[in-house]
Amino acid sequence: MSRRSIPEINAGSMADIAFLLLIFWLVTTTIDSDEGIQRQLPPIQPPIENPPVVKQRNIYVVLVNGKDQLLVEGEIMNISKLKEGAKEFLIANGDGLRYPNKGDVENFPVRARVSKADVAQKVADYTQAVATATDENTKKAFEKELEKWEEKAAAIRLLGGDYYELPSSALISMQNDNNTTYDMYIQVQNELQAAVNELRDEISLDKFGITYDELKTRYERKPDDLKLAEQIEAVRAVYPQRISEAEPNETGNMYGN
Amino acid sequence: MGKFRKGGKKEMAAVSTASLPDIVFMLLFFFMVATVLRTEEEKVKVVKPKASEIEKIEKKHLIRYINIGPPQDRETFGSEPVIQLNDVFATVQDVQTWVDKERNTMREEEQSKMWVSLKVDQDTKMKVVTDVKQELRKATALKILYSTNERERTGGGN
Backbone angles phi, psi at A240, to 5 degrees: -75, 160
- Contact criterion met (CB < 8 Å) for B49 and A186: yes
**Distance (Å) of CA A121 to CA A97, A117, A124, A127, B39:** 22, 6, 5, 10, 57
Residues of B within 8 A of A84 (CB-CB) are: 155
Q: Which of B17, B120, B127 sits opposite A12 (nearest CB)?
A: B17
- Contact criterion met (CB < 8 Å) for A183 and B122: yes
Among B59, B48, B68, smallest CA distance to B150 is for B48
CATH code for the domain in which residue B143 is found: 3.30.420.270
What is the Cβ-side half-sphere exposure of residue B132, based on CA atoms within 13 angstroms?
30
Q: Over the stretch B79-133, which tens digit does the pLDDT of each residue have?
A: 889 999 988 899 999 999 999 999 999 999 999 899 999 999 999 999 999 999 9
pLDDT for res B5: 59
- The alpha carbon of residue A18 is apart from the nearest alpha carbon of chain B, in Å, by 6
Amino acid, single-letter form, for residue A58: N
pLDDT for res A254: 44
**Residue B4 covered by a domain:** no
Q: Over the stretch A96-105, which tens digit does the pLDDT of each residue have?
A: 888 888 777 7
The count of CB pairs under 8 A between chains A and B is 165
- Its domain, for residue B141, covers 50-150
Q: What is the C-alpha to C-alpha distance for residues B131 and A255, in angstroms, rounded to an integer?
A: 18
- For B2, the 3-state DSSP assignment is coil
- Contact criterion met (CB < 8 Å) for B126 and A179: yes
Interface test with A, best of B83, B121, B125, B149 (most A CBs within 10 A): B125
Among A6, A11, A16, A18, smallest CA distance to B16 is for A11
**Residue B83 covered by a domain:** yes
Backbone angles phi, psi at B89, to 5 degrees: -70, 145
Name the residue in chain A with its Cα closest to that of B60.
Answer: A34
Q: What is the C-alpha to C-alpha distance for residues A168 and A41, in angstroms, rounded to an integer?
A: 18
pLDDT for res B91: 92
pLDDT for res A50: 78
- Contact criterion met (CB < 8 Å) for B145 and A39: yes
pLDDT for res A108: 86
Q: Over the stretch A1-23, which tens digit does the pLDDT of each residue have?
A: 556 777 777 767 777 888 888 88
pLDDT for res A37: 92
Q: How many domains does chain B have?
A: 1
Residues of B within 8 A of A194 (CB-CB) are: 52-53, 153-154, 157
**Residue B125 covered by a domain:** yes
Q: What is the C-alpha to C-alpha distance for residues A110 and A91, in angstroms, rounded to an integer?
A: 10
**Residue B36 covered by a domain:** no
Name the residue in chain B with its Cα closest to that of A65.
Answer: B126
Among A248, A245, A256, smallest CA distance to A193 is for A245
Question: If chain A, 257 residues long, is cut into consecutive pieces of 10 residues, what is the mean pLDDT of each piece?
Answer: 71 78 77 82 82 84 90 91 91 83 81 86 87 85 87 87 87 90 94 93 91 89 88 90 76 40
